[in-house]
A and B are shown apart, each in its own frame.
Chain A
């Protein structure tokens, strides 16, 4: 199947996220679509599969123009997509999930026998062993991801789109996936492959298209490109200066120490320390316990076992109020759901987190609030019209800065950052790194959870590598390779 997207423009509200993007995929090729978080890759493939509609532009398939109003339209002509987010129905069984909207049915009655047969064939091909009658909530995240991929193979699609399919897979699962993708290619199918793991691109893909900030940057054969070429075109400048030079700060006393923290089904025997002026990083795959640990450190969730010490004193940390009082701040991984009140303005968002600071006898002191907001929006370098601007009107990067500001305004001594740069533009990213270093200079202890290895390597002093809820390695960030960390992340020793 030959695909041409021409001059695609797409806006969400007032923000245009794709600007005249051209994207061509030839017959029988594995085509990599590359770009930083927020570059517009997912949006582009959603347009291609009818999940989103573009504001302008054309979709040509084998030379014929098509308009897709929903996924079923694109499936009907042989395009299947594995979305970046898992879209499973966790209360339903594996079989029900595989066939939702693709039911083999007669008069609306499901032919379960036929489904089981097709499911077994597809799963065998992918090398997956799973009980078809099990509810999906019982499966590991990796297995759920494999299930999403299997869904796309149930239909005999001619073009398969995979949006970051490997971010939660183990090495063995990735191996299986690549084997199947190579088989599919031999069968004459086209594949669009989105991934942040560049070595996968070089291993698997024939052609590469790079997007940056919603613009088409280049399209070339993979064999004409080097690793560095790809990175440079992705970020727009040499990676070297994305990470500012690390300040030379003397690491001080222990601020927060965790000893053998455990929680059933989530993590086990987790121990670590963060000192004054130290940035510790947590590497690992999504869904393998890192966020859960941070929730425990902040008193959001209870632990089953283990001790937490704050400045060498045992603390219970059984609720958020306690954690805040001690001086812990927590920038959660979902700024939109947990971090911000989107329909409130900047001032109010700062206020809700600092009521005790700006209230005198239960009444909010406007001047105090104004000063506090000014001070900390400046510290994080926020770009805004005025302090009454609604959060929903800010870009992702600036929203994240508001989250940072509202926590810094509480004067924390330890700041937990869970995926602080997810889905924000390169410039904001750089500013956040600069801010993290500023905090280091201010002698804060910073805990940085990130799924982007380069980020951890560029920022952290020490990296804890997690796999399946356990710390596999504790590495000083000096002359370590990303391959080594990746190996630990995947469960190697």
Chain B
């Protein structure tokens, strides 16, 4: 019955182009938005501005890649914003207490991974729905962050080495956070398409029962997946703290939603089994470009949420149509 779909070779060029368009709606959307901003604002296409878009996108980007693999595996991670606040606070407090910044960095990453592991174990062993488990940990770690900081930011870390470099440094004129975003994108593209673990994430999200029958240790892999998400949230936290030279206990509120938005705009399906690193990157860039563009145009900041919301809805409808 599917024979009708098969004969691709005979297709004429217009329909190949059309097909390409249909498959790459997010990319085309990004290009359209960029062209519009180029026309509307002369300062959009300056080197300085492009770099600042990348820098702004980097925090959301790191979170979004973690959330992307979680969603591909059929789950959801609402806790990344709180994880970011918590691990950022740990990082800042450690430095203020005199611990060398690189070691504080490792401590923060470990803390992030542990939070992810807790989520993963609650979901795979405790049989909690991912939404519930990560909603719970989102509140717990937000509360813990406020508790250990007394609700007060930890500012002026006084480190001029690593802790300044990772958020504020440059390499060949490009901000380090932007470079991190590029590296992580490439790493995730490779990880998802070329590695055994990457394929298993798709398998688990696409058909959990089938994955189990194929011999995949679904429970253990789920723990690893949430650990990666937590780890990336901690990485984002360190960059954010470094950039602001301050850890704010209310940092990262609603960042999880922006991360989910980026993944979804990029074609990741909430039902699991579908998604790509390149798609998520496009999602991240669309959100970053819109924030930046509306700033340049001097419009109300509230417009940004309206537009992002509409884009999510449109992206998912377009994705279903193809």
A469 surroundings in chain B (CB, below 8 A): 1
B148-200 contacts to A (CB < 8 Å):
194-197, 199-200
CA distance A138 to B8 in the complex (A): 12
A109 near B1: Cβ-Cβ < 8 Å: no
B1 near A139: Cβ-Cβ < 8 Å: no
CA distance A289 to B2 in the complex (A): 12
A70 near B215: Cβ-Cβ < 8 Å: yes
Q: Which residue of A lies closest to B6 (CB)?
A: A138
Pick from A89, A105, A112, A266: contact of B207, CB below 8 A. Answer: A89
CA distance A288 to B207 in the complex (A): 22
CB of A270 closer than 8 Å to a CB of B: no
A72 near B196: Cβ-Cβ < 8 Å: no
Query: Most chain-A Cβ atoms within 10 A of its Cβ — which of B206, B216, B274?
Result: B206
A265 near B215: Cβ-Cβ < 8 Å: no
CB of B235 closer than 8 Å to a CB of A: no
A89 near B213: Cβ-Cβ < 8 Å: no
A50-77 toward B: CB 8 Å interface, digit per residue (1/0)?
0100000000000000000011100100
A89 near B206: Cβ-Cβ < 8 Å: yes
B6 surroundings in chain A (CB, below 8 A): 138
CA distance A71 to B215 in the complex (A): 5
B199 near A100: Cβ-Cβ < 8 Å: yes
A105 surroundings in chain B (CB, below 8 A): 195-196
Q: Which residue of B lies closest to A104 (CB)?
A: B196
CB of A183 closer than 8 Å to a CB of B: no
A93-133 toward B: CB 8 Å interface, digit per residue (1/0)?
00010001101010011101000000000000000000000
A21 surroundings in chain B (CB, below 8 A): none
A138 surroundings in chain B (CB, below 8 A): 2, 5-6
Pick from B1, B206, B216: contact of A468, CB below 8 A. Answer: B1
B1 near A96: Cβ-Cβ < 8 Å: no
A88 near B202: Cβ-Cβ < 8 Å: no
Distance in Å: Cβ of B31 to nearest Cβ of chain A: 26
A112 surroundings in chain B (CB, below 8 A): 194
Task: Please judge, given known A-B contacts A87-B213, A139-B2, A469-B1, whether A110 and B199 are in contact too, CB under 8 Å.
Answer: yes
Task: Please judge, given known A-B contacts A103-B196, A108-B197, A265-B4, whether A87 and B202 are in contact too, CB under 8 Å.
Answer: no
B62-79 toward A: CB 8 Å interface, digit per residue (1/0)?
000000000000000000
A89 near B195: Cβ-Cβ < 8 Å: no
CA distance A140 to B5 in the complex (A): 11
Distance in Å: Cβ of B131 to nearest Cβ of chain A: 21
Distance in Å: Cβ of A493 to nearest Cβ of chain B: 18
Pick from B195, B202, B215: contact of A109, CB below 8 A. Answer: B195
Task: Please judge, given known A-B contacts A89-B202, A89-B206, A91-B274, whether A101 and B2 are in contact too, CB under 8 Å.
Answer: no
Q: Which residue of B lies closest to A110 (CB)?
A: B194
CB of A314 closer than 8 Å to a CB of B: no
CB of B136 closer than 8 Å to a CB of A: no
CA distance A71 to B203 in the complex (A): 16
B194 near A109: Cβ-Cβ < 8 Å: yes
Distance in Å: Cβ of B93 to nearest Cβ of chain A: 35
B195 near A92: Cβ-Cβ < 8 Å: no
A92 near B210: Cβ-Cβ < 8 Å: no
A278-290 toward B: CB 8 Å interface, digit per residue (1/0)?
0000000000110
CB of B125 closer than 8 Å to a CB of A: no
CB of B214 closer than 8 Å to a CB of A: yes
B217 surroundings in chain A (CB, below 8 A): 70
CA distance A115 to B206 in the complex (A): 21
A110 near B213: Cβ-Cβ < 8 Å: no
A87 near B207: Cβ-Cβ < 8 Å: yes
CB of B209 closer than 8 Å to a CB of A: yes
Distance in Å: Cβ of B251 to nearest Cβ of chain A: 34
CB of A345 closer than 8 Å to a CB of B: no
CA distance A72 to B212 in the complex (A): 10
Pick from A83, A139, A266, A468: contact of B213, CB below 8 A. Answer: A83
CB of B273 closer than 8 Å to a CB of A: yes
B211 surroundings in chain A (CB, below 8 A): 89, 100
A87 near B214: Cβ-Cβ < 8 Å: yes
Q: Which residue of B lies closest to A71 (CB)?
A: B215
Task: Please judge, given known A-B contacts A103-B199, A110-B194, A266-B1, whether A87 and B216 are in contact too, CB under 8 Å.
Answer: no
B211-236 toward A: CB 8 Å interface, digit per residue (1/0)?
11111110000000000000000000
Task: Please judge, given known A-B contacts A89-B273, A138-B2, A265-B2, whether A101 and B195 are in contact too, CB under 8 Å.
Answer: no
CA distance A178 to B248 in the complex (A): 68
A266 surroundings in chain B (CB, below 8 A): 1
A89 near B194: Cβ-Cβ < 8 Å: no
Pick from A89, A90, A100, A265: contact of B1, CB below 8 A. Answer: A265
Distance in Å: Cβ of A138 to nearest Cβ of chain B: 6
User: What would 30 A/B residue contacts be, using CB atoms closer than 8 Å?
Assistant: A51-B213, A70-B217, A71-B214, A72-B215, A83-B213, A89-B203, A90-B206, A91-B273, A91-B274, A92-B199, A92-B206, A92-B273, A96-B199, A96-B202, A100-B199, A100-B200, A100-B216, A101-B200, A101-B215, A101-B216, A108-B195, A109-B194, A109-B195, A110-B195, A138-B5, A138-B6, A140-B2, A265-B2, A265-B5, A469-B1
A70-B217, A100-B214 known, 4 other contacts, Cβ within 8 Å: A75-B215, A88-B210, A96-B202, A110-B199
Shortest beta-carbon contacts, A-B, top 7: A87-B210, A72-B215, A71-B215, A89-B206, A101-B214, A91-B273, A101-B215
> Which A residues form the contact surface with B (CB < 8 A)?
51, 70-72, 75, 83, 87-92, 96, 100-101, 103, 105, 108-110, 112, 138-140, 265-266, 288-289, 468-469
